[in-house]
Amino acid sequence: MDFVRTTPPRPVDVTAVFPGLAPLARPAIRLHPRPGSPSVGESSVGGPLLWPVEEPWPHCEASHLHVDSGFRQSPADVRLMRRRQARWHRDHDGRGGMTPEEEAIKERNAARLAERLDADPPPADCPVPMLPVAQLYLRDIPLLQPPGQADLLQVLWCPYDHDPHHKPSTALFWRSAADVVDILAAPPEPYEVNEGGYLPEPCVLAPEAITEYPNSLDLSPQTLLMVEDWSRWQAAGVDVDSSEHADCPRDFYDVHLADAPGWKVGGWPPWDRTDPNPRYCTVCDVQMVPLLTIASFEWDGGEGHSWAPYEEQAAAYAANTAGHCCGQDPSQPTKVEVGSADNMQIYVCPASPEHPHTDLIQ
């Protein structure tokens, strides 16, 4: 991890305006995934996993017959398409065609897939190899609370949506990195993935510790009334004329001061798709806590780009004013898109991380 990303200070010290929010502060770690070439010994999004060669690779055993094959592509073709888009965006040549090298890659991909299908055609509803989503070492993400001597969390998911909530099924593995001696060099991949949105681009991380406050939907009615009273913001010196939210200070709070967007560990839930929906452990009935937020975007458009790191403010502003091209959005470095540009949050039991986890699209 040889790069840094820094969240700009929030425009207002929210606890100075509302001291009652101070006890609600939660630590979080923004992961700041950015395209790179992570190794198995590094924390990453979409990178290779430190996976024991003797341990079977996880497969999704659920039914996939309902998935529309018209929206599937092989992982190799998705990666090839992304390289072409990146080249088009970089060169601005407008040609849109493939280079001879890319033509050769596409031909090899097609030939390999044909060989695999001829040799061992997959059943109509065969188990699907899961895809690496994140690998997080405790040394990089100290907010993790692994069981026993574990110091590594690995998250995988199925590359297809599943009913009834139209989201990929997820799997979590805690392990001790020192126990992995022989590493699986070439894990299996699915024949196809769902439109590419569930195939993360390999990304290195720049973890940053921040403090978060709850979304307005998580506030008590009394606190929410105070947040919606713009005179309290004025009394604290907030410049009303410079804000688009003078008529709705609740939006100002949610956009700029509450939970941070993007991939993160810990913190508060980013309620949007649903109202607050507490999750409870199926083993001990304890209320579960957020572990990992898998985000479609690192920051929102419009005023939401205030969460873009200092180091990327220029790119965020340019994309916000001029738009982006060919999938090259600086706020979507992982190329992951969950649901309708939503977030998936994974929850774990605070009493025991070995109890079954759950997840929720938000």
295 φ/ψ angles, rounded to the nearest 5 degrees: -110, 145
Which pLDDT score, from 0 to 100, does residue 89 have? 64
Q: Both tokens of residue 14? A: 């929210």
Task: Give the per-residue pLDDT at 209.
Answer: 98
Say how far apart CA 241 and CA 250 lie, in whole Å.
16
CB 49 within 8 A of CB 132: yes
CA distance 26 to 23: 9
Which residues of the chain register pLDDT less than 50?
93-94, 124
For residues 199 and 159, the answer to whether their CB atoms sit within 8 Å is yes
Tell me 53's DSSP state. T
Closest CA to 269 of 183, 343, 321: 343
Tokens 């979590």 belong to residue: 172
CA quadruple 194, 196, 202, 204: dihedral, nearest 10: -100
Confidence at residue 84, expressed as pLDDT on a 0 to 100 scale: 76
Q: Are 360 and 347 in contact (CB under 8 A)?
A: yes
Q: Determine whether 30 is exposed, middle or buried from the number of CB atoms within 10 Å of its CB (0-12, 13-18, 19+).
A: buried
Cβ count near 305 (within 10 Å) = 21
- DSSP 8-state assignment for residue 351: S
**DSSP element (H, E) containing 148:** none
φ and ψ of 358, to 5 deg: -140, 170
How high is the pLDDT of residue 237?
A: 77
Tell me how many helices (H) and strands (E) the chain has: 7, 16
The pLDDT of residue 348: 97
Q: What is the pLDDT of residue 94?
A: 47
- Angle at which helices 75-91 and 100-119 cross, to 10°: 170
Q: How far apart are CA 80 and CA 58, in angstroms?
A: 25
Helix (H, G, I), strand (E, B) or coil at 149: coil
Taking only the tens place, the pLDDT of each residue in 123-152 is 546 789 999 999 999 999 999 999 999 999
CA distance 5 to 278: 31
- Asked if 255 and 272 touch (Cβ cutoff 8 Å), the reply is no
Count Cβ atoms below 10 Å from residue 178 Cβ, excluding itself. 9
pTM for the model stands at 0.88
pLDDT for position 185: 93
CA angle 132, 136, 137 (to 5 degrees): 140
Q: In this structure, are residues 54 and 31 in contact, taking their beta carbons and an 8 Å threshold? A: no
- Supply the pLDDT for residue 55: 98
Phi-psi region of 108 (alpha: psi -120 to 50; beta: other; left: phi over 0): alpha
Residue 213 near residue 223 (C-beta atoms within 8 A): no
